[in-house]
Amino acid sequence: MAEPLRLNFVQSAARMEQLPDSVIEVAMVGRSNVGKSSLINALANRRNLARTSKTPGATRLINVYEREPTGSGRWLVDLPGYGFSTASKSEQRRWSGMIETYLIERETLAATLVLIDGEIGPTKLDLSTVEWLEHIECSYRFVATKMDKVKPSKRHRRSEELASRLEVDKAEIVWVSAAKRTGIQDLRATVDHILG
């Protein structure tokens, strides 16, 4: 049984250059409102570690969480959500540039968790993000969020649809629900293994 990840908030940064050195990092990417902050809270089994909001686009900076002990340099990194249409075009460009620079240049980045909304499936932005990650040869894994929003009778079919659209085997997608804690154990184990 995977214990909750002992994570502590380190800092927020508007640019990658503002981040100190680390040993190893796992990054989370996904569209706005996919549930990244809720998932971080579930992984740590803490209610308010990461700030959640009903308004998409609450995460506007690179947010760093360090696995204990303090100073270990083993980070879980929450990147701003993409596709937040009510932000200004210049703000969207800034976020996009921030994310791209981090994913291309961060040498201690070991893996990226691509969060897909399990209720609605991958959007065009999700698919283009995956295509871009492959282009830059960035290692990634799929996490389907909001499993609790998919009716049990439809989960098998939705799982197959998601795998088909993402062009992967069903077994390569970790399904989770931050609200119900479904799949959280498996994801904790995965993140724990990568961070070493």
Amino acid found at 37: S
Q: What is the CATH number of the domain that holds 36?
A: 3.40.50.300
Cα distances (Å, whole numbers) of residue 32 to 37, 101, 116, 157, 170? 10, 19, 10, 25, 24
In a domain, 26, yes or no: yes
In this prediction, residue 94 carries a pLDDT of 73
Instruction: Please give the tally of structural domains in the chain.
Output: 1
CA 19 to CA 95: how far, in whole Å?
Answer: 16
Distance CA 159, CA 22 (A): 35
pLDDT at residue number 52 = 76
Model pTM score: 0.92
Neighbour tally for 146: CB within 10 Å: 23
Considering the domain boundaries, does residue 2 fall inside one? no
Residue 33, in any domain of the structure: yes
Which DSSP helix (H) or strand (E) runs through 193? Answer: helix 184-195
Residue 89 is predicted with a pLDDT of: 73
Residue 69 lies in a domain: yes
pLDDT for position 61: 87
Residues linked to residue 41 through DSSP beta bridges, in sequence order? none
Distance of CA 160 to the CA centre of its chain: 21
Per 3-state DSSP, what percentage of the chain is helix, strand, and coil (rounded to 5)? 40, 25, 40
Does residue 190 lie within any of the structural domains? yes
| pLDDT value of position 97 | 82
Whether residue 141 is contained in a domain is answered as yes
pLDDT at 54: 54
Tens digit of each residue's pLDDT, the chain (196 residues): 789 999 999 999 988 999 999 999 999 999 988 999 999 999 999 999 998 755 544 557 899 999 999 999 999 999 988 876 556 677 667 767 888 999 999 999 999 999 999 999 999 999 999 999 999 999 999 999 999 999 999 999 999 999 999 999 999 999 999 999 999 999 999 999 999 9
Across 97-123, b (16+ Cβ under 10 Å) vs e yields: ebbeebbeebeebbbbbbbbbbeebbe
| DSSP assignments along 141-183, one per residue | EEEEE-GGGS-GGGHHHHHHHHHHHHTS-GGGEEE-BTTTTBT
Domain holding 23, by residue range, is 7-195
Is 1 within the bounds of a domain? no
Is 107 inside any structural domain? Answer: yes
